[in-house]
Amino acid sequence: MRILPFLYGCKALATLLLVCGPAHASADENWPTTPKFIELSTPYGTLTVSESEYVYEAQLKLDGGQIDPPISGMLSLNYSFEMPDRQATLISISSGNNACPIMYRWMVMRADSYSISPAFGSCSEQIRVSADAKTLTLQTPNQESPEKIDTYVYDGKNLQVR
């Protein structure tokens, strides 16, 4: 007879998981899984994340050489877009700071040069990224109010937050 209360408890737990589980999962489904690469070949050179003994000291390199300004931390190459006369790559950077675990930078490469955006983001790995012929856009939940969306737009020179 003692097994019946246990079974009722299991049934209640299963019901709770069925009711609450999908609601939690659907909130996460709004954000795609972000790809993470450590090497990317482009028409303008190969980007690589160098290995380091300390995870937060990896460095971004272009054709094996240092870039200026240097980008270091726990790095991933997330998205890359072919644009007219250039290639743009989104880089995620983690410095180990728990208060803001991740920031982003765009690197835009041309045949004879490259530019790097200032660091930006709302400290979230949840992102949506898009590009058109002139601009690169990243959307992410606002750090203080996650129900609001911060939109960062980079044109190769200026970074704006909308």
Average pLDDT on 44-59 reads 94
Please check the confidence at residue 28 and state whether its pLDDT lies above 80.
no
Please check the confidence at residue 72 and state whether its pLDDT lies above 70.
yes
Distance between alpha carbon 142 and the CA centroid of its chain, in Å?
A: 14
How is the chain split into domains, by residue range?
Answer: 1-29, 39-161
Residue 124: strand, helix, or coil: coil
> Are 80 and 33 within 8 A, CB to CB?
no
pLDDT at 15: 38
> Are 104 and 93 within 8 A, CB to CB?
yes
pLDDT bin (cut points 50, 70, 90) of residue 33 is very high
**Based on the number of CB atoms within 10 Å of its own CB, is 9 exposed (0-12), middle (13-18) or buried (19 or more)?**
exposed
Distance CA 110, CA 146 (A): 36
Please check the confidence at residue 6 and state whether its pLDDT lies above 60.
no
Distance CA 99, CA 145 (A): 15
Interval 86-121: pLDDT, tens: 999 999 999 999 999 999 999 999 999 999 999 999
pLDDT at 29: 54
Tell which wins on pLDDT, 50 or 16. 50
> Are 44 and 114 within 8 A, CB to CB?
yes
Please check the confidence at residue 46 and state whether its pLDDT lies above 90.
yes
